[in-house]
Structure formats: C-alpha cells, structure tokens
Amino acid sequence: MDRFQLMNVFVAVAEERGFAAAARRLRISPPAVTRAVAALEQRLRVQLLHRTTRHVRTTEAGRRYLEDARRVLADADAADAAAAGIDAEPRGRLAVTAPVLFGRMFVLPAIVEYLARHPHTDVAATFLDRVVNLVEERLDVGVRIGELPDSSLRAARVGSVRMVYCASPEYLKRHGTPKKPQDLAKHSIVASLAGSTRSGWRFGGRTLKLAPRLTVTANDAAIEAALRGAGITRLFSYQVARHVEKGELAIVLERHESAPQPIHVVHREGRNASAKVRMFVDLVVERLRADPAVNRR
C-alpha cells in the first residue's frame, strides 16, 4: 500500500476502535488491515495503537498522527473534488448535526430541498442538544449556537438569537408580570434540562437559583407547558418566535436578557470543500440568513 492507503487504514482502525470493524468499513480483509498498521508503524518508527484482546486505542503519538492524517486525507479528497470541477454534481452521504428544535425547524427543510435538488445524495441528520465533535463523530456539517472555541473548523455566521423568558398572557394576567429577576421567586417556573437550567438562570454575571414547579427534558415540552399556563420558562427566541407573533406567549424581563448568541454553520473541510458539503453549506447559509427568526435583535 502507498502512504495514503496506509493513512486511510490507520484512520479507520482508530475511529472504529478495532481491526475487524475497520476491515468491514474498508471492505478489505482483517489481515490486510493488521499488515497496513504494522507497516505504517514501522515506517514512522513509533507505536500508534495500544492493542489488547478487548480494545484498540491510540497512543499519544497516535492521537497526534490521527489529527494530521485526517487533515491530509480531507485535503486530498478536496483536491480531487476541485479537479473534478466546481460544478460537479454532489454524490454520496452527507452527515449533518444541529440542536434538536433548531434542526427540526430550520435545518430539516434545507435538507429536504437539498435532497430534491441532488438525487445522487442521501443525508444522515443527527439532532442533539449538545455540542457534537464533527471529527470524532464523522460528521460533515453542523449548526452551532453560541461562541465558537478556537478550532480548525470552517465557520459561516448566519445570525444570532436571544435567550428569552416567556409565559402565556393568561398566566401573567393571573399571577402578574415580573419586573426584575428576583420576582421570579414568586412565580411558577418551567425548566427544561435541554436548556441546561439545572443550576439556575443567569442574569448578567449572576446565577439566580430557582425551584422549578415543572422540569422537563425537552424544549418543546417546556413550550407546550408555557402555552398551557404552567408558568414562566426560558428558551431561545427562535423557539418561541411563532407563538410570540400569534400572541400565545409574551416575553418578560426583556431588559434583563443576556447578549444575543451567534449562530454558525460549521464544517471540517478546507477551502476546496467537496461538492456535497459546499452546496449544502451554501444552501443552508442562504436560507438561515434570510430568516428573520434567527436574525432578530
């Protein structure tokens, strides 16, 4: 095998954490995988993997080499795609991730449009309310809400959203409208664990400890409870924008809100991104930048 093939085999073993699984992924024999890793380690004169009867793990040198190998292979794929022409038809599987409600409301419509435009593609969408590592989980494109840490990811800012506090007009008519954060102690609180409210709600640089009357594990459940008059909840502005416009929910404590949080579309390919990634990113960026729900101040 040449150097690129050896790198490819090593990356497969490291990501699958096993020789047999890597062989299945690459559609070659397990002995061929074993020989390739041994040849690479001999070439580099360093051990890349710890092997036991149960586990295969990268060594410290292996972890460093894995990052470099992934980058080299991605650049090679990007060069191939660029050589094939910028207007090449997207092909193959695209793996996308986004927060649960954001994905359902904004990313899924873009995926459906993308699939209709490009019949030789398929998409695997992972909607989770946690930050997903694109490299480790072998994902192509992600949507991130919040400040981005320094990384090698390419990012396009598409808007921003606020964290808002809201309740139904009927609830506020019965219990009054809070004027300052401390007033929340007198109200029924609906907390969503998807919004990381277990330790309280932050106002400026301080965290206000609260005792929720209702705690749910999903933001859509918190919205439903607020609509039914269960109390005041905290959610992103895009999640309740439709209900606020209809008068079904009212925002409170608006002058005590934190600064808006940015929204980015991120991907891990270089400037010569493959056609499937480039065209999806262009589509979702265009749609999001045109949507007022993710660009309100």
Number of residues assigned to the chain: 297
CATH class of 3-84: mainly alpha
DSSP state letter for 148: P
Instruction: Annotate 233-254 with three-state secondary structure.
Output: EEEEHHHHHHHHHCCCCEEECH
- Domains 3-84 and 163-256 agree in fold: no
Greater confidence (84 vs 12) lies with 12
Q: Measured between alpha carbons, how far apart are the two ends of the chain, in Å? A: 56
pLDDT digits (tens, 9 = 90+) for 214-238: 999 999 999 999 999 999 999 999 9
CA atoms within 13 A on the CB side of 147: 4
Quote the distance between the C-alpha of residue 172 and its chain's center. 35
Edge-to-edge strands, sheet with 141-145: 121-127, 92-98, 141-145, 261-267, 154-161
Neighbours of 130 (CB within 10 A): 9
* Spatial contact of 127 and 232, defined as CB atoms under 8 Å apart: no
Q: CA 239 to CA 220: how far, in whole Å?
A: 8
* Spatial contact of 19 and 29, defined as CB atoms under 8 Å apart: no
DSSP state letter for 201: E
Fold for domain 92-161+261-294?
D-Maltodextrin-Binding Protein; domain 2 (3.40.190)
Residue 85 has pLDDT above 60, yes or no: no
* Degrees, nearest 5: CA angle 196-200-205: 100
Which candidate, 60, 40, 71, 119, places its Cα nearest to that of 279? 119
Q: CA 99 to CA 126: how far, in whole Å?
A: 8
* Spatial contact of 179 and 255, defined as CB atoms under 8 Å apart: no
Where exactly are the structural domains of the chain?
Answer: 3-84, 92-161+261-294, 163-256
Q: Where are the alpha helices (DSSP H) in the chain?
A: 3-16, 19-26, 30-44, 60-84, 100-102, 108-117, 169-175, 219-227, 237-245, 275-289
DSSP state letter for 155: E
pLDDT digits (tens, 9 = 90+) for 25-53: 899 999 999 999 999 999 999 999 998 87
pLDDT digits (tens, 9 = 90+) for 131-185: 888 877 889 999 999 988 766 688 999 999 999 999 999 999 999 999 999 999 9
Residue 271 has pLDDT above 70, yes or no: no
**Average predicted confidence (pLDDT) for the chain:** 89
CATH class of 163-256: alpha beta
Which candidate, 220, 221, 163, 225, places its Cα nearest to that of 188? 225
In this structure, the dihedral spanned by the alpha carbons of residues 245, 247, 249 and 255, taken in order and rounded to 10 degrees, is 70
Encoded tokens for 128: 């989770």
What is the per-residue pLDDT for 137? 82
Encoded tokens for 295: 């660009």
Q: CA 160 to CA 295: how far, in whole Å?
A: 5
* Spatial contact of 17 and 55, defined as CB atoms under 8 Å apart: yes
DSSP state letter for 211: -
Check residue 175 and give left, alpha or beta (phi > 0: left; psi -120 to 50: alpha).
Answer: alpha
Band the pLDDT of 243: cuts 50, 70, 90: very high
